[in-house]
């Protein structure tokens, strides 16, 4: 990044503050939406329990749960932890290129936790992106840079969902047709919608001129209404932030190996989520095929994400029953409860204490990875780890100098003493 660009980005102090304050108000409204979602899901749970009781399935439901192998449930929970950890890695991959980024690993842990928490508890997952952008701005990024990072990650994740679904349809298309019949056609439609969604996001990122014209036209339209606002300020915000957002995405997209690595991490992350039914099946003593569970899990996620209700309520229940009944049979109701606990309720509770994590000016991601690489390099060279001024100052000890020390020819200390000027230069 050149000097003038950096000066232009950091010069205005008041605008980001105003934006962050507005985002904070938005986050408060999101928490209000979360409370409503919790009440809604509680009502759904009560209706579900009443259905089990009045349909005469209560005895079978209780007996099925009593025979669950808890160790497999815990393994499923560990798999969901890896889903979260890989999400943090997905954010860290593009951030690791930036030497002067203010983001540390704790910031990224908070961002991913907010994504899971607000996505699960807002209709259609719409609350995730604003909450994540807010946490990125709180860590020191501008709104444009935060949006670029957030939507770069979002586009890669959405593309990974489509690729994963395509792979599973290739390997288990016959199973889906035999199991759910015409429902597989609905899955294909949802798969097409996912591809269109990714293409629209790419247009927004790669065509900033179109977005600028549309945004400014909307502001001009609002200016003709009785609404009182500083429309000149918002024109400036749109002009600056859209370019920053587009430039940030284009800069990330130029690094093809980084994008491919981020895609691989997203595919592994989705695999952890889709494999949960396999762990639940073993918890109920069923033999299950992992690829089949992955294919059914992928189809189920496409369905629940299309339901505009918190957590894909109603769609998740019906989809799980249709896709996994051949596997669980009469225990399908109890299996759904265990699956829902591992995949949904447990992560929501676990994310709450992680929402407030902040790095607070510590080492950023680039610096921590550089420190890890330095430690691994020292280990590879067979040198003991060193702390203090020598390592932080950047003195490199080559194997040739170590060999000279062992041979008793004056060694490293003698060489350092004979060239104090060079050592001072290295320390600086």
pLDDT tens-digit readout, 125-181? 778 888 899 899 988 888 878 888 888 898 889 889 888 988 888 888 887 777 776
CA dihedral defined by 108, 112, 117, 121, rounded to 10 degrees?
130
**Closest of 343, 345, 332 to residue 281, by C-alpha:** 332
Say whether both 135 and 194 belong to one domain.
Answer: yes
- Is 233 part of a structural domain of the chain? no
pLDDT at 1: 40
Say whether both 32 and 102 belong to one domain.
Answer: yes
pLDDT at 234: 74
Say whether both 318 and 408 belong to one domain.
Answer: no
Domain that holds residue 401: 394-427
- Is 110 part of a structural domain of the chain? yes
Cα angle 298, 302, 307 (rounded to 5 degrees) comes to 145
- Is 185 part of a structural domain of the chain? yes
Domain boundary (329, 352, 368) is at 368
**Tokens 């489509």 appear where?**
162
Phi and psi of 182, rounded to 5°?
-65, -15
**Closest of 292, 354, 282, 373 to residue 135, by C-alpha:** 354
CA dihedral defined by 219, 220, 224, 228, rounded to 10 degrees?
40
DSSP 310: B
Q: List beta partners, residue 123.
A: 310
- Is 316 part of a structural domain of the chain? yes
Say whether both 87 and 154 belong to one domain.
Answer: yes
The pTM for the full model equals: 0.72
d(CA 278, CA 289): 7
d(CA 208, CA 119): 27
Say whether both 64 and 105 belong to one domain.
Answer: yes
pLDDT at 342: 93
Say whether both 360 and 412 belong to one domain.
Answer: no
Three-class SS of residue 123? strand
Cα angle 364, 366, 369 (rounded to 5 degrees) comes to 105
Say whether both 78 and 135 belong to one domain.
Answer: yes
pLDDT at 26: 52
- Is 247 part of a structural domain of the chain? no
As for how many domains the chain has, the answer is 2
Say whether both 48 and 127 belong to one domain.
Answer: yes
- Is 6 part of a structural domain of the chain? no
- Is 39 part of a structural domain of the chain? yes
d(CA 5, CA 142): 13
- Is 166 part of a structural domain of the chain? yes
Phi and psi of 310, rounded to 5°?
-55, 125
Say whether both 404 and 271 belong to one domain.
Answer: no
pLDDT beneath 50: ranges in the chain = 1-23, 386-428
Say whether both 334 and 423 belong to one domain.
Answer: no
Say whether both 350 and 421 belong to one domain.
Answer: no
Say whether both 398 and 363 belong to one domain.
Answer: no
| Chain Cα centroid distance, residue 419 | 50
């Amino acid at each position: 990044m050149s000097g003038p660009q950096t000066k232009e980005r950091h010069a205005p102090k008041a605008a980001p503050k105003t934006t962050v304050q507005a985002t904070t108000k938005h986050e408060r409204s999101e928490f209000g939406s979360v409370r409503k979602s919790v009440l809604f899901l509680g009502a759904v749970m009560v209706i579900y329990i009443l259905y089990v009781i009045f349909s005469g399935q209560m005895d079978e439901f209780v007996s099925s749960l009593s025979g669950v192998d808890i160790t497999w449930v815990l393994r499923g929970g560990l798999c969901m932890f890896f889903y979260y950890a890989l999400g943090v890695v997905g954010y860290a991959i593009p951030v690791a290129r930036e030497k002067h980024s203010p983001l540390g690993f704790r910031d990224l842990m908070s961002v991913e936790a907010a994504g899971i928490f607000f996505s699960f508890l807002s209709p259609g997952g719409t609350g995730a992106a604003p909450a994540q952008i807010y946490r990125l701005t709180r860590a020191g990024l501008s709104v444009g840079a935060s949006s670029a990072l957030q939507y770069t990650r979002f586009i890669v994740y959405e593309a990974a969902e489509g690729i994963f679904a395509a792979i599973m349809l290739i390997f288990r298309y016959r199973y889906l047709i035999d199991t759910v019949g015409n429902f597989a056609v609905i899955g294909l439609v949802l798969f097409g919608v996912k591809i269109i969604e990714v293409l629209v996001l790419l247009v927004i990122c790669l065509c900033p001129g179109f977005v600028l014209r549309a945004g400014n036209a909307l502001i001009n339209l609002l200016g003709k209404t009785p609404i009182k606002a500083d429309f000149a300020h918002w024109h400036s915000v749109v002009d600056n932030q859209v370019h920053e957002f587009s430039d940030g995405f284009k800069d990330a997209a130029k690094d093809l190996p980084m994008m491919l690595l981020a895609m691989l991490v997203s595919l592994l992350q989705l695999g952890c989520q889709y494999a949960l039914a396999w762990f639940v099946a073993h918890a109920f003593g069923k033999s299950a095929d992992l690829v089949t569970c992955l294919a059914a899990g992928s189809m189920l996620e496409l369905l629940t994400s299309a339901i505009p209700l918190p957590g894909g309520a109603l769609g998740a229940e019906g989809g799980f029953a249709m896709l996994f009944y051949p596997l669980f049979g009469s225990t399908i109701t109890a299996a759904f409860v265990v699956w829902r606990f591992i995949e949904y309720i447990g992560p929501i509770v676990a994310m709450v204490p992680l929402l407030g994590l902040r790095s607070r000016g510590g080492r950023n991601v680039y610096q921590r990875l550089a420190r890890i690489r330095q430690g691994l390099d020292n280990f590879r060279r067979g040198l003991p780890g060193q702390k203090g001024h020598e390592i932080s100052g950047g003195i490199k000890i080559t194997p040739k100098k170590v060999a000279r020390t062992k041979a008793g020819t004056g060694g490293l200390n003698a060489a350092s003493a004979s060239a104090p000027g060079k050592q001072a230069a290295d320390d600086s």
